[in-house]
Structure 1
């Protein structure tokens, strides 16, 4: 066993076959395999980091100069905005689709299944390009006014669906396909007895879901949803294909001028990692809070 110990009786007093247990010294068993593996792993990581830092082909001064560049920080802000909006809308859609997925209605359940299948299956970059060029397929959207000739609402799709809006929509739709299954798994984790007890007390289905089922399902839902938030942040880098103004778009634009692509990608990586660290810390405390309720 990993927690086994060796007992060494250095000065044990034996009197009439009696051993003084209090004088026994507990010596932990040394796991030489673990120690050697850890030393080798540390050596490999140190060698890789050292080789990367001292590489003469990387100009770290460029990384330092552009780490706090105004264009980079603006791209970072847009990345955070589209990630929060995209994931927030995705969570709302996921709850609705997840509830529909476990509905007894075959129509609702079938629609939810098709939604999940489609938006989990289509690549994000394809959906992003399609939504970004939606104005090529639908020029104008109008809502007729039944009491007059002028429409209630009329707008040009190409003017409304900007690269930022297209990015938020694509992230939300793609994320909803994955998160809906997370929500469904969380809802199914609550025992049937909870529903039966609520029904016996005269609580309707909506209140049962809101006040009984969802609070208990949050313990299952929150950890993978946190991972989806981090995944949404990283997926936002694909927005650069339609020049969405995000962090990746900003660093690639700068690299097109100074021709230091690797250094600018390092700048983007540093910011992505810093944001992910903050999100991971927030997820940790959120999971602890949900676990205590």
Structure 2
């Protein structure tokens, strides 16, 4: 028989016994499917309820405490003095973080340099400023006039001076606090930036050089954007820590928020109430700072993980679901 005719022959139907057996097996499998029941965790809910009750009890106890004057809290929560102190706190935080980040990048590049002198100098800087308390550094810069009466510019190892300025005039309390916060934070920023730079594949730099890019252009356009995924989370935490560390400047009489609250409480003897006021302000400011950190992490983490909806997106989605059910 010709081959083409053989191929054109219709395929015979399956026997009825096979079809019936297949249907019986499918029905048996369908009727005996394993139903997955999620494991219950009742004690988790019990623990959650206990924690909620404990928190509610503590909050109620604090709020109804007869030793807390709520009128004082309401009076000074938005007083002009506290608001000016909060503004100075924000200003100190922004300037210190910008300057310390720039200095930290320079120190990180020095740590990664093949030059042993630059590497050693950067290591010593990080070792000194990370190894001594910030409190000590603030006091040192605040009382620098006790060590150097004047700061002069001239030829080293001679008595020739171009000009000389009184130290306390050149470095008042605000500048001393700013220097202390910046130099201390730069040591931590340097290590954060260095860790981010080391997380970038060395082949990225080699590929950029092979395309004719300069080292500076490679750093700005290739290495730092990829390192930001590692840098942003700890730098966000450092920014929040910087905001709170400004309270230590009360030692050198910088009129930031905590210092202002101390001065007010020294007059009306309402220390606890003023502490509640500044605590609320610190919580509000740190919450605001957490918002750009969240979106920066999402922006630089786009290629490394699947991004879920933002909190605003969840609210909008919930709103649409509620409206659609009506």
* TM-score between both structures, scaled by the size of structure 1: 0.88
Q: Distance between the aligned counterparts of 2:28 and 2:73, measured in 1?
A: 71
Q: Distance between the aligned counterparts of 1:21 and 1:264, measured in 2?
A: 69
Residue in structure 1 matched with residue 181 of structure 2 by the alignment: 171
1:81 and 2:91 aligned: yes
The partner residue of 1:233 within 236, 243, 258 is: 243
The partner residue of 2:107 within 70, 92, 97 is: 97
Is the alpha carbon distance of 1:192 and 1:22 closer, same or farther for their aligned partners in structure 2, counting shifts above 3 Å?
same
1:69 is displaced (CA, Å) by 1.1
Residue in structure 1 matched with residue 75 of structure 2 by the alignment: 65
Is the alpha carbon distance of 1:77 and 1:22 closer, same or farther for their aligned partners in structure 2, counting shifts above 3 Å?
farther
1:144 is displaced (CA, Å) by 4.1
Residue in structure 1 matched with residue 60 of structure 2 by the alignment: 50
Residue in structure 1 matched with residue 19 of structure 2 by the alignment: none
Per the alignment, in what secondary structure is the counterpart of residue 283 of structure 2? helix
1:132 is displaced (CA, Å) by 0.8
Residue in structure 1 matched with residue 228 of structure 2 by the alignment: 218
1:206 is displaced (CA, Å) by 2.1
1:152 is displaced (CA, Å) by 5.7
Per the alignment, in what secondary structure is the counterpart of residue 165 of structure 2? strand
Is the alpha carbon distance of 1:34 and 1:160 closer, same or farther for their aligned partners in structure 2, counting shifts above 3 Å?
same
Q: Distance between the aligned counterparts of 1:21 and 1:33, measured in 2?
A: 34
Q: Which runs of 5+ in 2 are unaligned?
A: 1-23, 304-326
Mark the structure with the bigger radius of gyration: 2
4+ residue segments displaced more than 6 Å: 21-26
Per the alignment, in what secondary structure is the counterpart of residue 301 of structure 2? helix
Q: Distance between the aligned counterparts of 1:197 and 1:21, measured in 2?
A: 60
| Deviation sequence 1:6-60 (CA, Å, 0-9, x none) | xxxxxxxxx7762546999775442112111111111111111111111111111
Pairing 1:1-293 to 2, within 5 Å after superposition? 18-20=28-30, 28-144=38-154, 154-292=164-302
Residue in structure 2 matched with residue 8 of structure 1 by the alignment: none
Equivalent pairs counted in the alignment come to: 276
1:143 is displaced (CA, Å) by 2.9
Residue in structure 1 matched with residue 318 of structure 2 by the alignment: none
1:292 is displaced (CA, Å) by 3.1
Q: Distance between the aligned counterparts of 2:243 and 2:31, measured in 1?
A: 59
Structural RMSD (CA)? 2.3
Q: Distance between the aligned counterparts of 1:134 and 1:196, measured in 2?
A: 47
Is the alpha carbon distance of 1:224 and 1:22 closer, same or farther for their aligned partners in structure 2, counting shifts above 3 Å?
farther
| Deviation sequence 1:173-212 (CA, Å, 0-9, x none) | 1101111100000000001111221222232322221221
Q: Which runs of 5+ in 1 are unaligned?
A: 1-14
Per the alignment, in what secondary structure is the counterpart of residue 265 of structure 2? helix
